[in-house]
Amino acid sequence: MKEQLVSAFVERFDARPTVVTRAPGRLEILGNHTDYNEGVVLSVAVDRAAFVAAGAVPGGTCCIRDIMDGSERTFSLDSLDSPTSGDWANYVKGVVVELQKRGIEIPAFEAVFGSTVPMSAGMSSSAALEISVAYALGELAGADLPWQEWAKVGQGAENNYVGAKTGLLDQFSSIKGKAGQLVFSDFRTLEVENVPIPEGTALVVANSMVKHTLTNEYNDRRESCEDAVASLKPRMPDITALRDVSRADLERHREALDPVSYQRALHVVGENERVMAGISALEDNKLAAFGDLMFDSQNSSTQHFENSCDELDTLVAIGKTLPGAIGARLSGGGFGGITVHLVEADKAEPYSEALADVYSKQTGLESEAMICQPADGANTLFKA
Residues with active-site annotation:
170
- In this structure, is the dihedral angle defined by the CA atoms of residues 153, 184, 336 and 37, taken in order, positive or negative? negative
- Answer for the pair 380, 143: CB distance below 8 angstroms, yes or no: no
SS (HEC) of 65-128: EECCCCCEEEEECCCCCCCCCCCCHHHHHHHHHHHHHCCCCCCCEEEEEEECCCCCCCCCHHHH
- In this structure, is the dihedral angle defined by the CA atoms of residues 232, 263, 190 and 246, taken in order, positive or negative? positive
Alpha-carbon distance values, 30 to 56, 129, 254, 366, 373 (Å): 40, 23, 25, 26, 17
User: Quick one: 11 exposed, middle or buried, by C-beta within 10 A (0-12, 13-18, 19+)?
Assistant: exposed
> What residues contact 309, with CB distance under 8 A and at least 6 apart?
208, 210, 334, 335, 336
In 3D space, the residue among 135, 156, 139 whose CA is nearest the CA of residue 147 turns out to be: 135
- Answer for the pair 254, 262: CB distance below 8 angstroms, yes or no: yes
DSSP 272-326: HHHHHHHHHHHHTT-HHHHHHHHHHHHHHIIIII----HHHHHHHHHHHHSTTEE
Torsion of the alpha carbons at 178, 38, 338 and 210, rounded to the nearest 10:
-150
- Answer for the pair 272, 39: CB distance below 8 angstroms, yes or no: yes
Alpha-carbon distance values, 239 to 159, 232, 242 (Å): 24, 8, 8
